[in-house]
Amino acid sequence: MSILVNSETRLLVQGITGKEGSFHAKRCREYGTNLVAGVTPGKGGEVFDNSVPVFNSVDDAVSKTGANFSLIFVPAPFAADAILEAVEAGVKTIACITEGIPVSDTVRVTHFIKGKDVVLLGPNCPGAISPGEKCKVGIMPGYIHKPGKVGVVSRSGTLTYEAVGQLTGIGIGQSTCVGIGGDPVSGTTFVDILQMFDSDPETESVVMIGEIGGTREQEAAEYIKNDFSKQVAALIVGKSAPPGRRMGHAGAIITGRAARADEKIKALEDAGASIVPSPSEIGTTVQKMID
Amino acid sequence: MKLHEYQAKDMLSKGGIKVPEGQVAYTAEEAYRVASQLGVGSVVKAQVHAGGRGKSGGIKLARNASEVREVADLLLGTRLVTPQTGEEGVPVSSVLVEEALDISQELYLGIVVDGSLGGDVVMASVSGGMDVEEVAESTPEKLYKLPIDPMIGFQPFQARRLAYLMGLTPNLIREFTSLMINLHKIFSENDCSLVEINPLIVTSDERLLAGDAKIGLDDDALYRHPDLLALNDSEQEEPLESDARKFGISYIRLDGDVGCLVNGAGLAMATMDITRSAGAGPANFLDVGGSADENKVAEAVKIILSDSSVKTVLVNIFGGILRCDVVARGMILGVEELPHINVPIVVRMLGTNAEEGRDILSRSELNVTLVDDMAQAAEAIKSTKYSKSSG
């Protein structure tokens, strides 16, 4: 199976006629993803890439094409509205690539979907890819991936590619790779994705990539310790960032020490995760762990 | 974006929160005039974007207007060094002259966005006037936190709860409740990332006033607050950081000597860690962004090389949207504009058009060492360091 994206995915791209949206919609399609619709208000009736219908609203797109996943490239000032439109149209899985969305907008959106049967990846995330299912829903370079049994979950985009590059380089394939987003508030947590990996028979072990700030990694450690049945390798970046200079003090003030790399590493180590000692050793650490 | 104390107090005052009588002054004469109007006993506070001013001589008491003039004269035009600034300090271009208050108690109030809770959180403590991070660490039980529901906002009962937890006298409960409601309204309406009143002063005649105010604004929301954008004081920023911001480059200056040019914040932090593991230190955090073009890369290179402490540059690019050939051309453009600087550049490129990028660089005049992975990058950093110290 894999998680989130697979051969059953019927992809809709919001913002499909924009520069980024059209570029990546084509790349997803080339990889094998079933792109069924696009939405750009005012461009309804156009055809994208020779055969993909463009609609004025998500509601129209869903009812006419049965789209079940929305990938969002809408500019930051309008992105929250785009996510809410997708939720209201009944789309159950959404990935928002847009970066720079005001935090208060994301707070409203994530609050709105709480308790609903909706998964929101991001904002400010690379999306998700399941190489074995030939399904790519996001901006990651497809060719670095290889079908396999390791799940990857990360807060960062390019660092996810780094992890995948190292894994593929030594012959280790991936079940699904997921970016949950780099913003202080996001729709999905490490725990949410770990739970999905736990019940996915395709996934045998997981690489988790965290960073300084917030306490999401500690929550993941708690979950891994008590409920996760598979092996985890964990990398935390930002060890060398001086504590006085944080990249946004919001979460850090409230959590104090917990936001630091060493505290996160300790929590994950206590939970039984294999700690990746340096960003250049992601592949080798996983290799050792699964051997 | 950060506001100065006087700007923050202006925002609080407009939002219905009481602040001490006072006014900002840009010259010693102006300070004298403000103090004369206030009457006896004033506080003179250096207006800088850094905390820890009290301990560093940035806040002074004066008995009369002449003393205010003397103190203002001493502070204005200097650079204030506090535990939160670098050694260079930050420029003092204005002072806030305020009435001295008769203080009976100092409280702490703050509102931030908490990522784990996915919403705003109010913090309050009776340990006002202290560094809140110190309070959180040493006596966490004295820091009360209440999450705010994004749909219904901050409620009066929550304010009363905080008031009783802090043991405020019954006379103050109503005033405190309205202050808290106003404070959260200010936080929401202006898209703040942080609002702090530390201390919130309880005067001996039982009034509540914001003794100090710190406000941070969500940069991503500034597009809908053009009036607030005008309050930005770029003089307070590290000049290279302010240059970087103009080009949409995320850059933070650090104290090492290896300049880092990376795409993606996570990979940028990983690259800093690699530098550290090679026994060197990163000179900066730099994320050039996913949609960079040649000019933006050139600007990034120029910013890195303008830092005179940079002895080596490490370029780590995992091309996705950003193509490696674009990065290579941008690097050449940037280096060409600074011909007097010749530091070794270690380059690791992977992903979209990596071969082309590497090819462009190896055929260029640049002093580059091409490596294949991050472990090799660390080795190359070590050896450039070694060759410098031995040669």
- Partner B contacted by A253 (CB < 8 A): yes
Of residues A244 and A197, more confidence is placed in: A197
The whole-angstrom separation of Cα B249 and Cα A164 is 26
Average pLDDT (A34-38) is 98
Which CATH number applies to A140-291? 3.40.50.261
Flag whether pLDDT at B391 surpasses 70. no
pLDDT band at A154 (very low <50, low <70, confident <90, very high): very high
Two tokens, residue A196: 């999905």
What integer pLDDT is reported at residue B114 of this predicted model?
Answer: 86
pLDDT bucket at A260, cuts 50 / 70 / 90: confident
pLDDT > 70: percent of chain B: 98
**Could you state, in order of their start, the residue ranges of all structural domains in chain A?**
1-123, 140-291
The catalytically annotated residue of A24, A111, A145, A249 is A249
A235 pLDDT above the threshold of 90: yes
Chain A hits for B110, Cβ within 8 Å: 253
Chain segment B338-370, per-residue pLDDT in tens: 988 889 999 999 988 999 999 999 999 999 999
Query: Do A139 and A128 form a contact (C-beta atoms < 8 A)?
Result: no
For B:65-104, CB contacts with A below 8 A are 84
Interface membership of B121 toward A (CB under 8 Å): yes
- pLDDT for res B242: 87
Name the β-bridge partners of B90: B80
Question: Do A1-123 and A140-291 agree at the fold level?
Answer: yes
A191: pLDDT strictly greater than 70:
yes
Residue B108, phi-psi category: left (phi > 0), alpha (psi -120 to 50), beta (remainder):
beta
Residues present in chain B in total: 391
Whether A253 sits inside 8 A of B112 (CB atoms) is: yes
Report which DSSP code applies to B244.
H
CA B181 vs CA B16, B175, B188, B208: distances in Å = 10, 10, 11, 14
Structural domains present in chain B: 21-99 (3.30.1490.20), 103-227 (3.30.470.20), 238-390 (3.40.50.261)
Q: For residue range A114-131, what is the model confidence (pLDDT) as tens digits?
A: 999 999 999 999 999 999
Average pLDDT over all residues of chain A: 93
CATH number of A1-123: 3.40.50.720
With an 8 Å Cβ cutoff, are A158 and B115 in contact?
no
pLDDT score of A268 more than 70? yes
pLDDT value at residue A247: 46
Q: B119 and A107 in contact by Cβ < 8 A?
A: yes
Under the banding of pLDDT at 50, 70 and 90, the label for residue A239 is: confident
| pLDDT single digits (tens) A46-87 | 999 999 999 999 999 999 999 999 999 999 999 999 999 999
Query: B94 by DSSP, 3-state: which?
Result: coil
Q: Which residue of A has its CA nearest to B270?
A: A237
B3-25 tens-digit pLDDT = 999 999 999 999 999 999 999 99
In the predicted model, is pLDDT for residue A285 greater than 90?
Answer: yes
- The answer to whether the CB atoms of B291 and A144 lie below 8 A apart is no
ipTM field: 0.90
- Residues of B (291-320) whose Cβ lies below 8 Å from A: 291, 318-320
Indicate if the pLDDT at residue B291 is higher than 80.
Answer: no
Cβ-defined contact of B110 to A253 (cutoff 8 Å)? yes
Average pLDDT in the A178-189 region? 92
Q: Which residues of B touch A209 (CB under 8 A)?
A: 266
Residues in A closer than 8 angstroms to B378, CB to CB, are 278, 280
Provide mean pLDDT across the span B173-188: 96
Instruction: Evaluate if residue B292 carries a pLDDT over 60.
Output: yes
- Token pair listed for B221: 């929301």
pLDDT in tens, B233-263: 988 888 898 899 889 898 988 889 999 999 9
Residue B203 scores a pLDDT above 60: yes
- Give the global pTM: 0.92
B255/A contact by beta carbon, under 8 A: yes
Flag if B218 and A103 touch (Cβ within 8 Å): yes
Contact between chains at B277 and A209 (C-beta distance less than 8 A): no
CB B24 within 8 A of CB B7: no
Between residues B40 and A128, the one the model is more confident about: A128
Which residues of B are designated catalytic?
Answer: 108, 196
A291 or B157: which leads in pLDDT: B157
Phi, psi of B41 (to 5 degrees): 75, 100
Q: pLDDT, tens digit, for every residue of A193-219? A: 999 999 999 999 999 999 988 889 999
* DSSP symbols for B175-198: HHHHHHHHHHHHHHHTTEEEEEEE
Q: Which one of B145, B252, B270 has the shortest CB-CB distance to A162?
A: B270
Mean pLDDT of chain B, nearest integer: 92
pLDDT at residue A15 greater than cutoff 50: yes
The minimum CA-CA distance between A59 and chain B, rounded to whole Å, is 25
* CA dist., res. A218 & res. A263, Å (int): 8
Mean per-residue pLDDT, B31-52: 92
pLDDT at B386 > cutoff 70: no
Band (pLDDT 50/70/90 cuts) for residue A281 is very high
**pLDDT confidence tier of residue A251, bands split at 50, 70 and 90:** very low
